[in-house]
Amino acid sequence: MVAYLIRRLINAVLTLLVVTLVTFGIFFMVPKLTGSDPALLYIGKTADKVAVEGIREKMGLNDPILVQYGKFLKGIVAGRDYANGPDVTHCAAPCLGYSFRTEQEVTPLLMDDLPVTFSLAIGAAILWLIGGVTAGVISALRKGSIPDRAVMFIALAGVSLPIYFTGLLSKQIFVNWLGWLPEGNYVPFLESPSEWFVQMLLPWVTLAFLFAATYARLTRANMLETLGEDYIRTARAKGLGERTVIGKHALRSGLTPIVTIFGLDLGALLGGALLTETVFNLRGLGYQAYQAIKGNDLPVILGVTLIAAFFIVAANLIVDLVYSAIDPRVRLG
């Protein structure tokens, strides 16, 4: 178990290393291909030659690419100093460089966005897990009935309608026409939990709708498969009531595969829900990524990518560990 965990952790670190290599490669290649100069992106096109050369020296842009990559890695692990003679700027670990646009350090910039993204992802996850699974179970137990057909129809709509459609539509209806919810403006939880909740409600529901649709379909399929299993017949043959047969025996195996998907979905969302955040004007990682892409802000793009990759790798690891705990047939090793 311990050996397995160590191996998985090493694997996770290696995966992240590959991600840094690829993203850094892109970071390095893009200016080359587009003919733009990173130094100019930092300092502005109107700067004089001396200033440009100074920034180039300070940011290490004159170093060979491998040295640059090494310094980048060192920055993440131990922090780094950007120096041009006596002009030294310290960037604390994990250092992801400086934004082209705002000239701020990337790490604190992204850390400020995390609460927004976490609020959105976790809140929506709770909603879609409860909603999707409940709808899927009901659908499976009443297969072919009107509720089943209704759930499957709504689920089909859910998976086919993009966020920018459902999001903008719901915003139009609930904010502009009905006026039930205020115009979007994120309020931190610690500032006012109730306002935070009201502000997040629409983004949660919109994002959850998309995922709940998938979960309802998945749960329904899993439950139907499980209900046809021999061991469900055995449970009935033992004289157990339907409530125990469904609630204990069928749900236990019908819902186990959901754990995997849920972990991975949540992990991916923690790296930012670009469309939802943009539609609802939530300044999270996704919104930051959107702005960075628009503004060609490579260090920020790199940072968001790394954080997203980190969450996905971590979610993967957690899912595998959890799965081995809930499925006795899976053995770690």
Partner 1 sequence: MSRPFLEVKDLNVRFETDDGIVQAVTDSSFSLEAGKTLGIVGESGSGKSVTSLALLGLHRTRSNAKVTGEIWLDDQELVSASDADVRGLRGGKMSMIFQDPLSAMHPYFTVGSQIVEAYRVHHPSVNKKVARERAIDMLARVGIPQPARRFNDYAHQFSGGMRQRAMIAMALVNDPKLLIADEPTTALDVTVQAQILDLIRDLQEEFGSAVIMITHDLGVVAELADEVLVMYGGKVIEKGPAIDLFQRPQHPYTWGLLGSMPRLDREVRDRLTPVKGSPPSLINLPSGCAFHPRCPYAGRNGDRSFTDVPVLTGGAHSVACHLPAEERDRLFKEEVAPNL
Q: Which of 49, 243, 294, 329 binds partner 1 (CB under 8 A)?
A: 329
Question: What is the C-alpha separation between 269 and 259, in angstroms, rounded?
Answer: 15
Question: What is the C-alpha separation between 158 and 202, in angstroms, rounded?
Answer: 15
Q: Does 249 bind partner 1 (CB under 8 A)?
A: yes
Q: Does 326 bind partner 1 (CB under 8 A)?
A: yes
- The stretch among 66-74, 75-83, 223-231, 271-279 that binds partner 1 (CB under 8 A) is 223-231
Q: Does 56 bind partner 1 (CB under 8 A)?
A: no
- CA torsion sign, 12 to 14 to 16 to 19? negative
Q: Does 30 bind partner 1 (CB under 8 A)?
A: no
Q: Which residue's CB is nearer to partner 1, number 15 or number 244? A: 244
- The stretch among 11-19, 106-114, 129-137, 324-332 that binds partner 1 (CB under 8 A) is 324-332
- The stretch among 97-105, 152-160, 165-173, 323-331 that binds partner 1 (CB under 8 A) is 323-331
Q: Does 237 bind partner 1 (CB under 8 A)?
A: yes
Q: Which of 35, 179, 328, 333 binds partner 1 (CB under 8 A)?
A: 328
- The stretch among 93-101, 263-271, 287-295, 322-330 that binds partner 1 (CB under 8 A) is 322-330
77: which residues sit within 8 A by CB, 6+ positions away? 93, 94
Rounded alpha-carbon distances, angstroms, from residue 229 to 34, 250, 280, 320, 328? 59, 9, 44, 25, 18
Q: Which of 68, 84, 134, 256 binds partner 1 (CB under 8 A)?
A: 256
Q: Does 241 bind partner 1 (CB under 8 A)?
A: yes
- The stretch among 48-56, 103-111, 241-249, 260-268 that binds partner 1 (CB under 8 A) is 241-249
Question: What is the C-alpha separation between 290 and 273, in angstroms, rounded?
Answer: 10
- The stretch among 59-67, 101-109, 236-244, 269-277 that binds partner 1 (CB under 8 A) is 236-244
Q: Which of 71, 236, 322, 323 binds partner 1 (CB under 8 A)?
A: 236
Q: Which residue's CB is nearer to partner 1, number 31 or number 257? A: 257
Rounded alpha-carbon distances, angstroms, from residue 200 to 163, 183, 207, 282, 283? 15, 11, 11, 9, 12
Question: What is the C-alpha separation between 297 and 274, in angstroms, rounded?
Answer: 16
Q: Which of 37, 57, 225, 229 binds partner 1 (CB under 8 A)?
A: 229
> Running DSSP on this structure, what letter comes out for residue 184?
P
Tokens of 105: 């350090």
Count the residues of the shown chain that bind partner 1, applying the rule CB under 8 A: 22
190: which residues sit within 8 A by CB, 6+ positions away? none
Question: What is the C-alpha separation between 25 and 14, in angstroms, rounded?
Answer: 16
CB of 252 to partner 1, least distance (A): 5
Closest by CA to 20, choosing from 122, 95, 89, 104, is: 95
CB contact at 8 A, 182 and 175: yes
Q: Does 225 bind partner 1 (CB under 8 A)?
A: no
Tokens of 160: 């086919």
CB of 147 to partner 1, least distance (A): 15
CB of 236 to partner 1, least distance (A): 6
Q: Does 333 bind partner 1 (CB under 8 A)?
A: no
Q: What is the DSSP secondary-structure string of 263-307?
A: HHHHHHHHT--HHHHHHTT--SHHHHHHHHHHTT-HHHHHHHHHH
Which residue do the tokens 């509720």 mark? 147
Q: Which of 231, 247, 281, 325 binds partner 1 (CB under 8 A)?
A: 231
Q: Could you tell me which residues are beta bridge partners of residue 98?
A: 105
Q: Does 138 bind partner 1 (CB under 8 A)?
A: no
Q: Does 260 bind partner 1 (CB under 8 A)?
A: no
Binding site for partner 1 (CB under 8 A): 229-231, 233-242, 244, 249, 252-253, 256, 326-329
